[in-house]
Amino acid sequence: MNKISVVINTLNEEKNLPRALSSVSDFADEIVVVDMKSEDKTREIAKRFGANIYDHEKTNYVEPARNFAISKAKYDWIFILDADEEILVPLKNELKKIVDNPKADYFRIPRKNIIFGKWIKHSRWWPDYNIRFFKKGSVVWSEIIHSVPTTKGKGSDLEINEDLAIVHHNYESVDQYVNRMNRYTSEHSKNLVKNDYKFKWTDLIQKPVNEFLSRYFQGEGYKDGLHGLALASLQGISEFVMYLKTWQLGKFPEQRTDVNDVLDQINMSQSDYNFWKNDTLLKTYGGLKYRLKRKFKLP
């Protein structure tokens, strides 16, 4: 049966849902909306688009409700869409071709993250592959936040092409980022502790710094301008908060941290920074020009 069920989980998504549903209304043979006790007009909007609506208890993140939502789909091919996403015509056409002649059981699809009003093309935000299209029974989610699902059968990737990407209207404001960060870091810190992570005060320096460096320099976040700087910084802060919360979960145990120990950690981070700074300048300006700039202290 070459038909497609689109599955969407919702919680108070009256702002985003019309855009998401409009993008799949001419593509889906069935739309399944699993709602987690929305208090706005989410359910009314879903009904207006002819979706099959099911209830699920409220959770702090979507993964615990994913498998339930998939179980309600009646067709063989499943497309997962979040309420703050949409898909465009080229991707819809490509997925229809796949259904007519499938060469794999599940597919990873690139995703364009629109953050603070801009498509973030670097900073490790692109191509942001996600498993979103699959034969029913070939993909199962765990209940761990932001986890990669378990798969069965053969997988394939759609090409890295913005026309074939899911458009993700991600963070629209710093307030929204901070609110989600608080929720997500609480869950991530719990998972770290469950997996036998033991808090080390050095992680409060090394982990955030490494996150910033990997996004801004290694991930070429500088090419995203101020957006890249802001996001690399926010991701670093998120790491700091997450590890701080693991300390909290352990009831704030004391650890020896004199000023020399802290300075040693800062010096280690400085060495990492110098490596990535020089690597980035070399890639940006080239060997000879870079050496001349360094020698004569040119701007």
15-71 confidence digits (pLDDT tens): 999 999 999 999 999 999 999 999 999 999 999 999 999 999 988 778 888 889 999
- Reported confidence tier of residue 283, pLDDT bands at 50, 70, 90: confident
Region class of 81: left (phi > 0), else alpha (psi between -120 and 50), else beta = beta
Domain count, the chain: 2
Is residue 298 pLDDT above 60, yes or no? Answer: no
Q: What's the pLDDT at 294?
A: 58
Report long-range pairs for 124-127 (Cβ below 8 Å, ≥24 apart).
124/214, 124/215, 124/219, 124/221, 125/231, 127/160, 127/165
| Lowest-confidence segment of 93-97, 158-162, 246-250, 284-288 by average pLDDT | 284-288
Residue 55: C-alpha distances to residues 2, 37, 38, 62 (Å)? 27, 7, 10, 13
Q: What's the pLDDT at 197?
A: 97
Q: What is the pTM for the complete model shown?
A: 0.90
**Residue at a domain's end among 169, 203, 227:** 169
**Residue at a domain's end among 169, 193, 209:** 169
- Reported confidence tier of residue 295, pLDDT bands at 50, 70, 90: low
- Residue 289 sits in the same domain as residue 243: yes
- Residue 239 sits in the same domain as residue 224: yes
Q: What's the pLDDT at 63?
A: 84
Of 64-68, 168-172, 286-290, which one has max mean pLDDT? Answer: 168-172
- Residue 140 sits in the same domain as residue 287: no
**Residue at a domain's end among 151, 169, 187:** 169
223-273 confidence digits (pLDDT tens): 999 999 999 999 999 999 999 999 999 999 999 999 999 999 999 999 999
Q: Please give the average per-residue pLDDT across 141-158, as a whole number.
A: 90
Where in the sequence is the domain holding 114, given as residue range(s)? Answer: 4-169
Q: What's the pLDDT at 299?
A: 56
Q: What's the pLDDT at 209?
A: 97
- Residue 242 sits in the same domain as residue 260: yes
Give the separation between CA 251 and CA 230, rounded to whole angstroms. Answer: 32
What CATH number is associated with residue 20? 3.90.550.10
Q: What's the pLDDT at 287?
A: 56
- Residue 19 sits in the same domain as residue 163: yes
Looking at residue 125, its amino acid is W
Give the separation between CA 208 and CA 221, rounded to whole angstroms. Answer: 15
* Helix residue spans in the chain (DSSP H): 17-24, 42-48, 63-71, 89-100, 174-194, 203-213, 225-249, 259-285, 287-296
| Lowest-confidence segment of 22-31, 197-206, 271-280 by average pLDDT | 271-280
Q: What's the pLDDT at 291?
A: 56
84-128 confidence digits (pLDDT tens): 999 999 999 999 999 999 999 999 999 999 999 999 999 999 999
